[in-house]
Structure 1
């Protein structure tokens, strides 16, 4: 028996319908902010990702040569493809460009809870706006999206300008090592790096600072201070709850200003479900130096975090019929379907009792069609939840199910 590849999943109807429902909610939420969907190829030229992240990322990717000898990779994320698309085909559009995406990505890494080799990302990119208003909008959209999914999470917001002001005098390789220690909160290793006497203490204090004023007391005045304060004020105006966090050390070689992360409350160690910030990437792909801000949400982690949360699902009607009522039953089923109701019928010629038993497992309503109902053009409609039963016209039966909403 051939098994599915490691790190991939099969989705049964109930689970897939739950995913589609949350996906729909997220699409509707982000659309209200004016973002429109784009899609890119599932595989791209390998260089697209190594330009951004370096050759080391190849070990974490599904990379291969195609039959023409070209170096190709399954996309490990979607920001680079979306910016490549912008540079190729959309840089003449009016700014800012508001785009969102939803798609599967692939990484060759060890599978674990909420982390798979094939996984899905939902994200936005705001391209061509360089302002506190733009940064705050992106964070507010991210908060709105996660809130709409029903997960419990904490949003942490910071800015890399303060961290960068302390690290700018260090050599790039030493900066990388220091960032690794800070990201892991390994203060002992930081002390052992031979930094200037006060630098390690300042970095540790910045990591632990709780407010903007505390952070600026450590770094002193920096050119970005007014922009940072304005961003936080606008975020407050959006009424977005967040925690100030100036200890975000990752992404200093990528993000250019604001950074933010969201963490679910029930995912254990792998609990980050959103990450993003301001960046400049377009020039790497042959475009002009363009300010951008965006985020990606780990859709699979959202679903894991939701757990067994009850999902609303569409009503299902089972049309069960005796041999004398079968032809009329086809007309009844068609009327329900035309009204948008999910409707199933017996295909195996089962007895009425067997059909009713089967319907009880899958349906919310049963439309019983016997010879008497067929002759009168009526339907005996039974609500399986309440046990109530009425004999109605087709139109009345359809209206009764449609009016009951979802279950």
Structure 2
């Protein structure tokens, strides 16, 4: 028996209903902030990702040559593709651009809980605004998107300028070693790394920075760095919107990618693979042949959100089972069409079962109502509407049955 590829999943109707329910909530939140959806190709030139992340990423991608000899890759993430689309299609559009996306990505990595080779991201990019207000809007949107899903999370916010200020005396290789130790939150490794490169004096200030709980504590370590006012302004805007967050100036990932504010979110029930969101301020357009433009964005690991949520029960719309005999199929088709035209799901028997078997099947399927059309109803031009949960029923014209299901009065 053929199996699905490793690291992929099949989603059956019940699970897809759960996923679509959360997706719709997120779409509504993004739209409420004025963000419009963009869609980019599922595959791109490999260079789009290597110019951003380096040649090392090729081993993590589904990369291949097409029949024309072009080096192509299934997208491992979507930010680069969105910025490429901006450079190709929208550089002259009025700024700022507020875009969101929801799509699958592909990475060749070891599958585990919450980590798959085919996975989905919901993300937003704000292009063309360079201000504390822009940073605060994107973070507020990220927080609202996670909140609307119902996932329990902690949002951590920092800024890279204090860390870059403290590491300014180190070369690129030394900075990478220090950031690797910080990313692991291994204080012993950090102390040993700093000693090995001759900068043991940085250990105490770095620990004070990454454990600082207030901005005053941060600037007591760094002094009045140029970005101080913008950091304070951004934090004040977030507090004004009652966005709950934890200050974290020890965020180490992306030092060579992000340029300012950075933020991450973590679910409280996923164990080691608990990061469900990451984002920050960046500049990419110039790498893809466009003019330099400030941007701020984030991506949500949609699959990890769903794993964290566990089984959820989406709000169920009513389902009507139209039950008829062989002789009354004509009126039954008309009844089903009337319900569907009103936006109500209507299903009919396709297996020539008896009246009683059809009713039993409707009960087992979870239908909300049964519309019974026997010889008497067909002759009278009526239907019998049966509430399957309440086990109550009454005969009425078809239009009244549709209205009662819509209003939930039966």
After TM superposition, list the pairs within 5 Å mapping 1:65-104 onto structure 2: 65-104=65-104
Aligned-pair CA distance for 1:218: 1.3
Aligned-pair CA distance for 1:326: 2.1
Q: Match for residue 47 of structure 2?
A: 47
Match of 2:228 among 225, 228, 253: 225
Q: Any idea what the Cα deviations from partners look like across 1:119-178, whole Å, max 9, x if unmatched?
A: 011111100100000000000011111111111111111111111111111110111111
Task: Find the aligned partners of 1:390 and 1:300 in 2 and give their Cα distance.
Answer: 45
Aligned-pair CA distance for 1:24: 1.4
Aligned-pair CA distance for 1:328: 1.2
- 1:318/1:365 contact within 8 Å kept: yes
Q: Do residues 181 (structure 1) and 181 (structure 2) align?
A: yes
Aligned-pair CA distance for 1:215: 1.1
- List, as ranges, runs of 4+ consecutive aligned residues in structure 1 with deviation greater than 4 Å: none
Deviates more, 1:220-229 or 1:264-273: 264-273
Task: Find the aligned partners of 1:314 and 1:333 in 2 and give their Cα distance.
Answer: 16
Structure 2 residue matching 1:198: 3-state secondary structure: helix
Task: Find the aligned partners of 1:383 and 1:263 in 2 and give their Cα distance.
Answer: 44
Match of 2:339 among 329, 336, 339: 336
Structure 1 residue matching 2:99: 3-state secondary structure: strand
Q: Match for residue 247 of structure 2?
A: 244
Aligned-pair CA distance for 1:323: 2.7
Task: Find the aligned partners of 1:82 and 1:72 in 2 and give their Cα distance.
Answer: 17
Q: Any idea what the Cα deviations from partners look like across 1:77-99, whole Å, max 9, x if unmatched?
A: 00000000111111001111111
- 2:122/2:300 contact within 8 Å kept: yes
TM-score normalized by the length of structure 1:
0.98
- 1:324/1:374 contact within 8 Å kept: no
Task: Find the aligned partners of 2:84 and 2:325 in 1 and give their Cα distance.
Answer: 60
Aligned-pair CA distance for 1:59: 0.8
Match of 2:277 among 248, 271, 274: 274
Task: Find the aligned partners of 2:192 and 2:244 in 1 and give their Cα distance.
Answer: 37
- 2:191/2:200 contact within 8 Å kept: no
Task: Find the aligned partners of 2:253 and 2:25 in 1 and give their Cα distance.
Answer: 30
Q: Match for residue 353 of structure 1?
A: 356
Q: Match for residue 367 of structure 1?
A: 371
Task: Find the aligned partners of 1:70 and 1:212 in 2 and give their Cα distance.
Answer: 50
Task: Find the aligned partners of 1:295 and 1:404 in 2 and give their Cα distance.
Answer: 41
Match of 1:285 among 261, 285, 288: 288
Q: Do residues 212 (structure 1) and 215 (structure 2) align?
A: yes
Match of 2:389 among 364, 385, 388: 385
**Residue ranges of structure 1 left out of the alignment (5+ in a row):** none
Q: Do residues 253 (structure 1) and 253 (structure 2) align?
A: no
Q: Match for residue 22 of structure 2?
A: 22
Structure 1 residue matching 2:138: 3-state secondary structure: helix
Q: Do residues 265 (structure 1) and 261 (structure 2) align?
A: no
Q: CA RMSD in A?
A: 1.1
TM-score normalized by the length of structure 2:
0.97
Aligned-pair CA distance for 1:390: 1.6
**Residue ranges of structure 2 left out of the alignment (5+ in a row):** none
Task: Find the aligned partners of 1:168 and 1:32 in 2 and give their Cα distance.
Answer: 41
Aligned-pair CA distance for 1:49: 0.3
Q: Do residues 131 (structure 1) and 134 (structure 2) align?
A: no
- 2:18/2:312 contact within 8 Å kept: no
- 2:280/2:297 contact within 8 Å kept: yes
Structure 2 residue matching 1:155: 3-state secondary structure: strand
- 1:19/1:303 contact within 8 Å kept: yes
Aligned-pair CA distance for 1:222: 0.5
Q: Any idea what the Cα deviations from partners look like across 1:6-59, whole Å, max 9, x if unmatched?
A: 001111011112211211111111011111111110000000000010011111
Q: Match for residue 108 of structure 1?
A: 108
Q: Aligned pair count? A: 405
